[in-house]
Structure 1
Amino acid sequence: MKIPLHKKIRMDLLEKINNGFYQENDTIPTELELSEQYGVSRPTVRQAVQALVNEGYLERRKKRGTIVKKTKIKQEFTHVIESFDSEMNRKGISPKTNVLNFSIEHANEEVSENLNIEPNKEVYKLVRLRYAGEDPLVTVTTYIPKEMFPKLEEVDFSTQLLYNVFKEFNYPIQSVSRKLEVIKADETTSDLLNIEENDPIFYFHTQGFTHDKIAIEYSISKYRGDINYFVFEI
């Protein structure tokens, strides 16, 4: 299917915002300049620019023109099951994952309750720091029942998607349950996310279920409050 010109221009402008070509508070070229640059009409450019204004990436200022805003990332995983990488790519943002820790532990009371397993059962503990472009966005600590996933330690989770790995083991995630709190960042979290200690963060508890409501994931995610917002559909 052919992509309309205004959408192509929107995508190109958004990429330039995300990669720093246009930085926060920069004034982008005028509609006339952009129409000459892209070889299209001014209404086509206006439609592309207005879309980015509506999405919060740009702001029109009297006497100054259209400037780049410091934007928050719209997180939609609260009402869809989608991987972090897929969601970021769909938004034109380059994702990156650093694995901070991957180990085998004995489940404590909180983990055993959320995975519906006996206390002290062996679980994998996977700790990841995930980026949107160059910005650290979220820390995720995930617990997975070891007996269901032999040799999981051989997977490189800096490049492999957790939900894809579950699917390869024939345990696809089919439903999730999430609880949201807002808390203050501690010293470790503030260092990892490059924010101030006591800054607000979104604190998610997630249970992921495969067929027959079997819990195979318990994750604790800490999202920066300054560059994220969340959409809920009821």
Structure 2
Amino acid sequence: MSLIGKKLGALQPTDLSADLPLPLYLQLAKHLRAQITSGKLGANESLPAERELAEFLNVSRVTVRKALGVLAKEGLLSNRQGSGWFTNSSPYVEQRLSTLTSFTEDMQSRGLNAGVSWLDRTVSAATPEETLLLNLRPGERVSRLNRLRLAGDKPLCIELSVLPVKYLPDPFAVQGSLYGHLRELGAAPFRALQRLSAVSLIADLAGKLDLPEGAPALYIERRTFLKDGAPLEFVSSHYRGDAYDFVVELALA
């Protein structure tokens, strides 16, 4: 197999078709994205030159350049001056939404080392929105945990958890899994409601996730409840769009 064939795996010129409704450059971007996130193209691996890619795929260099530009905006590729295009290092995680697990438990189940970089931990009065979401009385206090969640040393998401102090009196006592700590305190999470939406990262969040400003992300809001139905936690998270897939299993009624 040629060098280009080795770097692009099973990609063949016939994989791209002008007869499809998706433009050629987006077809190519989709394929390369899958190659990177699946690990077929390793971290910091160089791509063939734009001219070689265009010849191999039988498309124009403009098509190749536009496809690579799409992936660069997503943070999957970087263009090093004088050296060409390289893949960026990013873990890839697929999470099913049918079970309620913590980030730490998700990573451990995949054999990954869950890490955390604390951005802030505070106890203060609940905001009006938090008061409503957590069914609190005005002026009640909450614990807030703002964390950068890591797989190994790679940032995957920024997560802000808010809990009534009656369930988490000391946010500094959380060392590993928050849900594991809550179970030890007798406040085991039982069920949750989640809402997902696609967003573009503002500069501050993008910088923390090692992504360019405007990179795509998944924004998730979750309300977690105890077995008796009492609200336990409100979480807002920004997940890297290039590293996380959420999977839902559906069945006919």
1:206 to 203, 217, 222: 222
Say whether 1:84 aligns with 2:109: no
Helix, strand or coil for the counterpart of 1:113? helix
1:57 to 24, 27, 39: 39
Deviations 1:64-98 (A, max 9, x none): xxxx9977623325221122122212222222111
Answer whether contact 1:163 1:172 (CA < 8 A) is retained.
Answer: yes
Helix, strand or coil for the counterpart of 2:198? strand
How far the C-alpha of 1:154 sits from its partner, in A, is: 4.3
- Percent of residue pairs identical: 23
Structure 2: 5+ residue stretches without partners: 1-6, 10-34, 42-86
Say whether 1:121 aligns with 2:137: no
Answer whether contact 2:143 2:168 (CA < 8 A) is retained.
Answer: no
Deviations 1:189-214 (A, max 9, x none): 01110111111110000111112111
Counterpart residue type for residue 179 of structure 2: Y
Separation in 2, partners of 1:127, 1:71: 22
Please tell me the root mean square deviation across aligned C-alpha atoms, in Å. Answer: 2.5
Helix, strand or coil for the counterpart of 1:76? strand
Deviations 1:36-63 (A, max 9, x none): xxxxxxxxxxxxxxxxx9x93337xxxx
Structure 1: 5+ residue stretches without partners: 1-24, 28-52, 60-67
Deviations 1:84-143 (A, max 9, x none): 122212222222111111001221122112111123321111101011122110000010
Pair 115,81 (structure 1): closer, same or farther in 2 beyond 3 Å: same
2:165 to 126, 130, 146: 146
Deviations 1:126-180 (A, max 9, x none): 1010111221100000101013333x2440x3x3211011111111001011011
Helix, strand or coil for the counterpart of 2:38? coil
Partner of 2:205: 189
Mapping 1:103-182, distance limit 5 Å: 103-150=122-169, 152-155=170-173, 157=174, 159-182=175-198
Helix, strand or coil for the counterpart of 2:112? coil
Counterpart residue type for residue 205 of structure 1: E
Helix, strand or coil for the counterpart of 1:148? coil
Counterpart residue type for residue 198 of structure 2: V
Separation in 2, partners of 1:181, 1:133: 26
Partner of 2:243: 227
For normalisation by structure 1, the TM-score amounts to 0.67
Separation in 1, partners of 2:152, 2:91: 13
Pair 80,198 (structure 1): closer, same or farther in 2 beyond 3 Å: same
Mapping 1:3-82, distance limit 5 Å: 56-58=38-40, 73-82=92-101
Pair 211,199 (structure 1): closer, same or farther in 2 beyond 3 Å: same
Pair 78,187 (structure 1): closer, same or farther in 2 beyond 3 Å: same
Aligned length: 173
Helix, strand or coil for the counterpart of 1:216? strand
